[in-house]
Structure formats: C-alpha cells, structure tokens
A = this chain, B = another copy of it.
C-alpha cells in the first residue's frame, strides 16, 4: 500500500526531537470494549501538560490484548482526534513478521507518525532473522526500535542496532537495558529514549538520551515534563522514585491501571490476564499521591482506595 499524501509524511527528525512520549493507557468500558471518551480525556490531559508524543497500544496500552482491527482503529482514532497536537506512534510491532508488516502498513495508512517495533519475543529468532524482521518494516516510515529483554527473552545487541541505524527511517531506540548501553548508542549519534522511568533522569542528563518513553507520565505528565526539560534535577527525581517503584512492583501496566482507576480517570475495568494490585498496595498509592500532591496527578476527583468489588475483570470481550 502506498500513499503520496503529504500530510501522511512525517519527517523522521520530528520524531527524533521528542523528549517526552507517554506509553498511553487504554481504558475500557464494563464490557471490555474501549472507553474512547475516557481515552480522549487521558490524551487531552497529556497534551495540556506538554507531552509531545504517545505510544498507542504499547505493552502499557495492552496492545497484546487487542485484536489488530481494534489496534489500528485506536491508532486511526488518535490521529484523527489529536494528530495535530501530539505525535502518534503506533506499536505495530509483533513477533510475527507478517503481522508486523500488515499492521505497520495499516498504521501509516491511517496517519500514524511513526512505528514502534519490537524484536520477535517468545518465538525469538537468530540475529539474521531479527535483522530480516526489522528490514521488513523499516522502509515504511519513521521507526523506533524497542529493546526490552526482560519481556522478549532476547536482547537486541548493538551489532543489530548499528547497521539498522544507517537506515534514514530509524528515529532511534527505546532502550531498557541500562545507561551503559544508552551511552554506547548516543556516543555513536543514535537517538535513544530511556524505557525505564527510574533511570530516565540520569539517561537524559548524564548519558545522552534524548528523553523518555514513559509509563509514569500517564499519571504525572507535568512533573515528567519538568524532569525531561528543565535541567538536571536530582531532587525532583528522588521525589518520584517511590511512585515509580510502586508502579513497577508488579509487571506494568498492573500498577498504572490500578492507579488511574483510583484517581477516577478510568473505570476500574481490567482485561485479563491483568488484575488489580492488592488492597494494601492500593492503600499505599493514596499515601504516595498525598506525598507528591494530588494536583500533580491527572484528574480532579479525590484519590480513593477501591474495594475488591469495585473492579471488573474481563476474559471475553
């Protein structure tokens, strides 16, 4: 599929310069379908607080629990409603090359500004296979490669990234392996976003990272903006650590889903296999909000501790 429309062409440099990108949460109605009204509110709050881009259907947004038609629809919806105010980066990656190709074609066709691509998790492949996989999609448009071995079971090593970085469509790397790896890339002129909220301050100010692709910014976009834009600030960074540790106590987005429900900005609906954090952790969150200041968090309702019965867990949707 090819389209020559100028408005579909995003300059890769526009992606490279983004400092704060949120891996946006996907909220649900009680029957498990998307709650687009809540979603639009979430994205609006991100825009108002200075976030420059969103990852749609990342692991945080639970792309792995979407059918592809839901996924592409959500990308198209986000472009249509917010594409003029924020960069829309679709997670059209997959462990199946066929699916990655198809989804990436469709994502660019509906106007996404860039694609996020993961290496083939679970199924895994050889280094040659990994390179073939990425080459199958890189020609389509601006691309961010995502390395998170703790999820994929396989590191994307520098000797894969270096040749790929020659491709003019490579915007950069979302790297979760740590600051040493980040520095290796930034020294070579490769754009990197930290994929770890607890490290992103140092990545940004000490290791050359351009910014962060953040989960925490779903909750405190303004403070994350400050952290990425306003210069080195170890004090602020330290203040955020308890929240970040709470968020990642269980695999993301379990903490985020629980937090946003307790802040009253999304319904307490979970698509399985995600379930809410237990009561004591939910109580802990209220304390964290008070400590950091409710006004720094998204939404306007009082933060509350939800009961077990408040949550709806859904297996068929």
Contacts and interface: CB of A to CB of B under 8 A. Distances in A.
B34 A123 contact: no
A53 interface: no
A96 to B, nearest CB: 5
A8 B271 contact: no
Interface stretch (A68-76, A202-210, A229-237): A68-76
B37 A136 contact: no
* Copies of this chain present: 4
A: interface residue count bin: 35 or more
A260 B30 CA distance: 33
Given A36-B1, A83-B80, A272-B136, A125 B72 contact: no
Interface string A1-29: 11111011000000000000000000001
A15 B192 CA distance: 47
Interface of A: 1-5, 7-8, 29, 31, 33-37, 39-41, 59, 62, 64-65, 68-69, 72-74, 76-77, 79-81, 83, 95-98, 101-102, 105-106, 109-111, 120-126, 128-130, 132-133, 136, 149-154, 250-251, 254, 271-275, 277-278, 313, 315-317
The 10 closest A-B pairs by CB, nearest first: A76-B76, A97-B272, A80-B111, A76-B110, A124-B251, A3-B36, A133-B273, A64-B123, A125-B273, A69-B69
